[in-house]
Structure 1
Amino acid sequence: MLRRRARRPSRGVGSGFIVDPKGVILTNYHVVENMTSIMVKLQLQSGEQLRGTVVGTDEETDVAVIKVNAGRDLPAVTLGDSDSVLVGDWVLAVGSPFGLEQTVTAGIISTKERQTDPGASFRRFIQTDAAINRGNSGGPLVNMRGEVIGINSQIATSTGDYNGIGFALPSNIASSVFKQLMTAGKVRRGYLGVFLDTVRPEFARVYEMPKASGAIIKDVADAQGPAAKAGIQTNDIIVEFNGQEVGNAQDLINKVASTPVGQTVQVTYLREINNKLERRAASITVGERPAPRTSAGVEEEDNSGKKGPIILSPRNSSANGSRPALGLTLSELTPQIANERNLKGVRGLFVKDVDQAGLAFDAGIEKYTVIERVNRQSVSTIEDFERIINALKPGDPVVMHVAAYKGDHVTQTIVQFTYQ
């Protein structure tokens, strides 16, 4: 007779710090995620353990607020200004790595605004070489004045432990999230319902813009969202938001996210009409950003091969490979391919394959996508594409508008790179 063993409860160890004498603690969301109970051990002379309750969490910044009832005021830290820190400043990381309580390690700020996950728009970290290990998560990163300038959150590692690179969420971001969680129990962020890309130098040159700034609408994801209702379209370029210049896509995301939900703002954008960029304005009532969601990508086999593909390389590519090829294998988008790949209504050239040694791979072009435009010109035949590519010289900018079926609809993206 076999008996199933009772499942043992899983346990985790993390760190945190008191930000309010009434027992309010800041830590990471991933420290308390899926926990059925939380015990907080105060690193004070008493060493007492108290049951903690979760006040609120924000998955997008990996922040959580916990409350304990000690029956008295507790010593609290001071949150510093993370925007004022400089690369090279000395810092201390405090926590309980591997359960070793009250451990302090020292290092410097290696860089600021480090993004470790392209899909996490609100996680821009302070990078440090102060040792951070498992159990440090949620602990404070402290400057030489004793002020908390970050929450230790992540490490870059090949072993699972400290490899010299750690990341802390800036205190200014944590403070903003903390205030909303304390007052409303959740974080409300502004929302337009679009996917964005940044105007880079290549795009600015191709579209004859005076400077490389602005955010490109690469896809209007929410047909009923604030941007769509205001008439914003795919390929529009937002250059001002609420009277402020937009530097890049992340700058616009930050501006929108910090705008109160329901507020109406003025947006200035550029739209291509008859091969010229026209300056336009719109009023947008900012919506509420929905909760983050994950989607799984499925890599498919290519079985459409009815029409022979053509492999395209730059003109005059040398035999010794001194100039890299684009590395694209293209075919015309036939009705059969469009039907099989859920690309009905899309016009362009179908990407059969991408050579990992080519320029296109480095630029981010993927298999089974469709190149619709190159440098503002539509491409529907191989001859169209070859004519444009063969006219390029090393150093010329390249901007490709690419469509792909992802999830349950066709999405748009923009690829920008310099021809070599």
Structure 2
Amino acid sequence: MKTTSTLRRAGIALLAATTLTALPTTGATAAPVRGGDTGWHGAWAASPQAATAPFAPNWSTAGFDDQTVRQTVRVTTGGTRARIELTNRYGNTPLRITGATVARTAEAGAVRPGSVRALTFGGRGSVTIPAGGTLLSDGVPFRTGALESVTVTLYLAGPTGPATFHHFAGATSYRAAGDHRADVAGTAFTETDSSWYYLSGVEVSGGPHSARRDGIVTFGDSITDGVGATPNADNRYPDELAERLAAAGSPRAVLNHGIGGNQVTNDVTWAGEKGIARFKQDVLTEQGVGTVILLEGINDIGGSGPAFPGGPTPEVSVERLIEGHRTLIRQAHARGIKVIGATLTPIKGSFYFTPENEAKREAFNTWVRTSGAYDEVVDFDRAVADPADPDRILPAYDSGDHLHPGDAGYRAMAEALDLDEL
């Protein structure tokens, strides 16, 4: 459920939309383009991260060489045209995309017959993305509906080096040796992983929301990213929110910019740049966004302890965490984006729980509820807490680690949001 951008920071390239019909063999080098980008709306997004493998091996550290990567995402709003965003934000060398396609999703790495559309970049079938750069493909006629899954396939003919990726996808990605970007069957895709690579957004145009600024970004850490939800089931709280909106007859873009382990105030080697830094690139560049939901801070509180993966990060006071949120609010308001602040969910029984951390969590939540700093507040803490022990997640909502909700907990969080406030 993610999207892309119009004018990103220096070094990011946006390419004008054109129609595609075939896979040209000539290449293009990404170059900045400004203007002529109206009518597009984010439909899916994922926040990029530098290559890392903190818990188990993945494909990011070695990258790719003469391989095809197939990735499936679910868009949250529909249209008649589509384009993708690819990023080399954390690459050290230029990234060559030899070719790319978009198609309707089938099962186990397959796509639906007759649905494969080749993507172009400035009218050409291949493109080079500079180190640190991000670009958009040209637009292609491709009708999508809200909550429909689409599959993006990238062919990488040469060695890429370490790959910019999104670590926790909660979805299966597929890899094949050689060029299989146009395959309908999934038989060549014999390797699987649970991250997204280079793909950071899908945008649509021609739908009912193309001219509106009513998209929603959910910004945060693993609880926004969906850790604890059933894989490949789209049960993260932003997914559940998108489903509520669609069921109410008003489907809207809900773009998930959570990163597992992320902090508001500290960079984390395996969990991305601090929130106050990445917010500009991940949120403020999104097309058609009018609201952001801020749920982040539990890793700032718990990260200074020995249980934090990769080792402790600098201790963060409640005052510093509050100032971090005020920074995010100022950044959003400067772009006319409404901010909904969320309380931090319970941690009792988890590896983060100490009396000191709980006192910080409660003090921060009191500030969220009473400060008036946000435009609106959603009380996720109370939505998932056990009434018999409010410092603990209700067992029916607990994924099992007493920190991350499971499917039912994420559904309860989505239901706690007032759709009128959005």
TM-score after normalising by structure 2: 0.27
TM-score (norm 1): 0.27
* Structure possessing the higher relative contact order (Cα contacts under 8 Å, 6 or more residues apart): 2
